[in-house]
Amino acid sequence: MMEYKFTKENFESEVMNSDVPVLVDFYADWCGPCKMMSPVVDKIAEKYTGKAKVGKVNVDEQQEIAGQFGIMSIPSFVFIKGGKKVDQAIGAMPSSALEKKLAQIL
């Protein structure tokens, strides 16, 4: 399972109304650290298939969503459970750090 691509068209249904916790990766195509994190996010998406949703929001294309979550730096990772933001992490980090935060909300 590849990660989801969240847009303003599907964000409400896929993220805010999700039955499982969601990890949202806010990124931009021109962002070096974001590119570095992409394979890490892909791996987490595969590992947590069925237990959590993992997806990306392109901040250049989806400024409305980025604004809704006050995203000022990328990459930013927002953890959502039951339609509410429960945690956030900013910047490139090891897979284990992201997984630890995700595991805490499962």
Residues catalogued as catalytic: 31, 34
Beta bridge partners of 77: 25, 89
Alpha-carbon span 78 to 81, nearest angstrom: 10
Burial 28-38 (b: 16+ CB within 10 A, else e): beebeebeebb
